[in-house]
Each structure stands twice: as structure tokens, then as C-alpha cells.
Structure 1
């Protein structure tokens, strides 16, 4: 079938809307009419060959939401007409998946960054040639997507489908880090470094579970003010204040948790220096420099630092839970979103990169081209 997709043709290139061909789904796949797709810094990192190193042309996008139009013969838990969120790919069969850790799937890299199905085939074609695709097992910057049955998550039909795509990755990562990985509970304290979509999703999750002290750290005053509106009890501008001193003033006995989305070693060290005994630090930021640790403090006080992938989510459980929390008014992640027309994808990407928009979402279902 003919679809419209945002195709990147070179490293760092623009997203060009073009007509391409999409194959029918295979036996374990689903055809989804895309209603909307979030944009994420991972899309930009792939475009710039900083992550996944795709060849070109390529169809990216990995926070899709839509409606199922066709299912393969081996898909039994989904049906035509279901409203779905597309999330990361995982095999479901390896040791990690069998232990309930799909975000740490042994096949995570080829399923999400391989540029094709595991067997090397492509579902997208242009001028008779296969296009790099299957990004996060979905390539959702298109009017239709082929996704594997594992990463297609059914959601309730009364929820606003055009807003739900980011639950498949960025919002899932931030909220899952707080709810699943760190398991913050009522009254506990947390430092959240970085007030982008992932950090603010973590803040919303901390607020939802009634965390006691929630500190947001950033260099952007506008974002810090917004963090206060979302529920931060304190904010710190690290350009204007000594972060460690301020954190110790806020919590003299130390914080229970830290959550870093920046990947900046100095920022991580600030949080580590102010954790209480047996405090836990979760990190999701992509680092450009190594993190040096003073090991004696870990040995003496039992500090923990953990890397977090996709919020330690089991998507078919966690994403519907987030939808329910949103519909109940407990998790207003829509406050992070600004919508764009599909044809304005490059503006959406630019606004995300400059920080003008926290979480752009493309209304692909409205595209008439």
C-alpha cells in the first residue's frame, strides 16, 4: 500500500514527507493507522548517527499511537479497531524477557536500532528498494506503521489517542524510573536533574505517589517555574546556586533518591553527594564523558547507582496503568505536550532541540497530503 512517511536521506538531514510503499503485515505483525507520534531526542540521535548508526534513507519515529487496521494470523490478543500505543521492541523469548525485563531484552539493539526486521527484511520500499526501517519495531513517522505484536499495547478507547504516543517511550521512561526502578513512595524525597520531558514525567510520577520533597534542578528558569506548577517543592538553578550546598540546606539528612536525565557527570555527582545512607541514584541521560566515583562513600553508606532503560516497564501492564492514572487526573502528562501538523515535523524537531517545546506530538492522522 502507498503511505506518506517522513524520510531522512542523509546524516543530520531534514525529515521529508514522501510517498513510499508499505508491505502487508507478516503473521506476527500488525498494521496500524497512525493517529499521532511523539518526537524524541532518540530520533534526532539516530538521524545524526549518534545512536544506532542507521544508513539512509531511513524512516524513524518511535512513539506512535493509532488504530489497528490489520493483524497477522498469529496475533491473537489484538484485533482490528483496537486503539493502541506502540512501544519499544522486545523478543519475548530470551532470558531477560522471560524474567519480566523486556527493556533489557537480549535482542534490544537489533529490534530497535537494526534498521530492519531481525531477518534483515524491510517493510518499507521506495523505487523498488528497501528503506531502513523498523525503528523501535515501528517507524511511526508515517501515516501507517507495521509493528510486531509484542510492542503493540491496547489502551482504553475513551482516552485521547492523539496524546498517548509518548507513553511508549519518553513519558514511560521518566515515570517508570520513579514508579518502577526507584519505587518512590509517599513522603520520600527525590532530586530530579533535568526538566525535559523525561525529567518532568518523573516529577509528575513523584507527585502522583505523594513524594514528600521533590527538587528539580536545571539551568532554565522557565522550565523550573513550570516544574513548580507541576509539583516540585523546590527548584535549583545550577547556574546561579551551588547545588550541593542548596540540597544540603533542603534536606540536611540527605535525600532518598536521585534521578538524572542529563548525563553530565558533575550534575550526577551533586546528587550523589547529598543522598542519605542507602540512597539510590537512577540515571537515564546519555553521557559524553565518563563518570568518576569515590568508592568509599558507596561502601560506607550503601549508596546505589543504577542505569534505567525504558523505566523498567513491562509495557502491556505499565502503559495502561499510566493511561488510567491520566484519566483519573493523577498523571497530567498532557501538560508537557504541544501538537504539530505532520507537515510541520521539522519545526517540531527544531522546537524540541532548542527547548522551546517539551514534548512535540505530530498529529499524523490529520494529514491530508
Structure 2
């Protein structure tokens, strides 16, 4: 039953009741924020591949649940320990973290020692949920926001204040997908002038990585993408070349030819072992391959160790682009204001009522980054 000492707020949310089931928009109740929490009235939320993975039951998560973790909105209320935002402030919501472990202390919240507990269990740490329906628990707290709802409870650690003159309708994806791609290029690989990059997969994460690389002066950037429309957009936004793996028999040879022998860095966003095998061979000596895609559960990295040894190359999975959201989201916004990071070109907006259509458009590749608007 609900906590009678904590007032409830009426909201509309997209609820998933069974693995593989649809998003169903229903009336729910949302608690007022606890001491270290905020209540946010959502303006918009991006749809991320992880939301689809959760919806389809590919990762264990309790149901019924409200998903969504790329929210943007306006603060309605704050807890007694919250001092960095106040009611009326505009915010972007990102991943949550403990704030105290050794990695959090080094401003590396993406590698928080208790990342799963703070983002992926469907409840607060004490097992409670801020969401309910007629006194029955609705699971939430996905990335401690569950932003597929008109109201969301977020935490003091994953709430980032932004200027009020910015369009909240497009800012939500800065909290995860766009942050992951751009952050990998800028923070993880530390690209700059003189560095070249091959990106395998021209979806939201891959094209955000491309925009991030170009924003800091890296290039040329080559995008390997079978979707003709996405490849065309990549070229329009600054890719030096695109390669269609459905039309090119030897992607590695073509990539080496276009890049003059190889690239200093590569990013795989597909999680497909056969693609990763090509990506690691495309990297020049002392280069690095960044892995971002979600792989099959039993997959191993298909790299030839002797080849890696001879070239001295590295392969590493990066999480959330090594980003500290409170620092990196403002940096992305600054690049956007300067005209160097046009991430808005990746976004298509859908009304909340069309959330299932938006999710389907993401799955089929029709839309690079769908954003639902409340």
C-alpha cells in the first residue's frame, strides 16, 4: 500500500506489464520526493536501445514497470537535502550513482561500484518504489528516473540543471545515448586533431560519436552503416566516407584503402562479434577499439592476439562515454550552442501517445533517436 505520510501525485505513464508486451499508457500515482530526491514534470524523453532490451525481457527486470532513462523536464519539488536545483529549474536526467565509492570520488560515476543497484533493479535500494496504482506497486527507478511518465522521481546525483532558454524537447538524449557516443569520442578515446576514426554502426550512439569527434577536430571519420538514409545523414553531418557492408564484400580492405592504411581509433556500436573482428584489424599500431554495443550473452571478443600484440592495440568496453553527467552534459550543450555539435539532427519527436510507434521506428532503424514529447 502507499505511504500515507508521503503525498501522492497523479501521473500518466507507459507501463510494461509483461516481457515483450506493449507500452500501455495508464494512470499511476507518484510519491513526493524523499530528502535526496526531486520530483520532475517531464517535457520529453528519448527512447534508448536499453529500454527496448528491458521491455523485451532480454535483461531481468521486475514488472509491471515504467521504463525510460533519457528524461528532460522541470523541477516540481525537491527534498530537504537538495540544494543544486529548486522548483522551476529545467533539468536533464542521467544515470544514477552512489556518489561515494572510489570511482565516484574520482568523478567516474559511470563506473560506480554499485551501478546496477542504483539504475537497473526497478526499485530504490530499500526495495521501495515511488510509483503505484491503486495502492499496488509499479516498479520504476530505471536509471533512477523512469521517464516514460508525466512525472518522475529522480535523485540528487543524476539531476543536471540546464539553462531555461534551451529546448527541453530535445535535451533528454544527452543523458544517455548521445552522451555515450560523444563521450566515448571525447572523454574515453580523447580524440583530437590528427586522429582518425572508424565507426561501426550509424545509429544514435555511432553518429553521436562522429559528431563528438568532429567537434574536437578529429578526422577523417568513416562510418560503416548498411542503412542508406543513415549513411547519407552521416555524410551530410561530416563523415568523410561511408561504407555499406551489404554492398561491399571486403569491408576491411575498403576501409584501409579509404583511410590510407587504417585508422588510429575505432568504435563498435553493434555488439556483433563478426563486426568487432573487422574493427580491431582496422586499427593502426598503438590504436584503440572502443566497444559500446550490447553483445549476445555468450559472446567473446573475436580478436587475434598475435595481431594485437604486433600492433600494440587495445580493446575496451566503455560505459556512458566515461562521462560525469554534471560536467559533460553542459559541455555538449556548449558545443551545440557553438554550432559544433548538431545532435538535434538525429532526433525525431513523437507525441507520448505514439510511444509504441516510436519504439518500433527505433528498432527498424526508421528513426535514429526517437523522443516522446508529453
Fold agreement, TM-score > 0.5: yes
Give matches, 1:196-275, under 5 Å. Answer: 196-241=203-248, 242-275=250-283
Partner of 1:356: 366
Partner of 1:6: 14
Deviation for aligned residue 1:187: 2.8
Mapped to 1, the partners of 2:338 and 2:88 lie a distance apart of: 24
Partner of 2:301: 291
Matched, 1:309 2:319: yes
Deviation for aligned residue 1:273: 1.1
Mapped to 2, the partners of 1:175 and 1:96 lie a distance apart of: 21
Query: Is the CA contact 1:32–1:70 (under 8 Å) kept in the aligned structure 2?
Result: yes
Query: Is the CA contact 1:159–1:327 (under 8 Å) kept in the aligned structure 2?
Result: no
Q: Normalising to structure 1: TM-score of the pair? A: 0.97
- Classify the secondary structure of the residue corresponding to 2:222: strand
Deviations 1:220-271 (A, max 9, x none): 1221111100110011111111111111112234211001100111211212
Matched, 1:326 2:336: yes
- Classify the secondary structure of the residue corresponding to 1:317: helix
- Classify the secondary structure of the residue corresponding to 2:265: strand
Deviation for aligned residue 1:292: 2.1
Matched, 1:110 2:117: yes
Which of 68, 75, 81 is the aligned partner of 2:88?
Answer: 81
Mapped to 2, the partners of 1:285 and 1:229 lie a distance apart of: 24
Query: Is the CA contact 2:33–2:79 (under 8 Å) kept in the aligned structure 1?
Result: yes
Which moved further from structure 2: 244-253 or 76-85? 244-253
- Classify the secondary structure of the residue corresponding to 2:20: coil
Q: Mark the runs of 5 or more structure 2 residues left unpaired by the alignment.
A: 1-8
Partner of 2:5: none
Which of 155, 164, 169 is the aligned partner of 2:171?
Answer: 164
Partner of 2:139: 132
Deviation for aligned residue 1:80: 1.2
Mapped to 2, the partners of 1:355 and 1:248 lie a distance apart of: 27
Mapped to 2, the partners of 1:141 and 1:43 lie a distance apart of: 10
Query: Is the CA contact 1:124–1:132 (under 8 Å) kept in the aligned structure 2?
Result: yes
Which moved further from structure 2: 11-20 or 250-259? 250-259
Aligned residue pairs total 363
Give matches, 1:27-46, under 5 Å. Answer: 27-46=35-54
Q: Normalising to structure 2: TM-score of the pair? A: 0.95
- Classify the secondary structure of the residue corresponding to 1:184: coil
Partner of 2:29: 21
Deviations 1:343-364 (A, max 9, x none): 1111111111111111110111
Q: Mark the runs of 5 or more structure 1 residues left unpaired by the alignment.
A: 365-369
Mapped to 1, the partners of 2:240 and 2:261 lie a distance apart of: 17
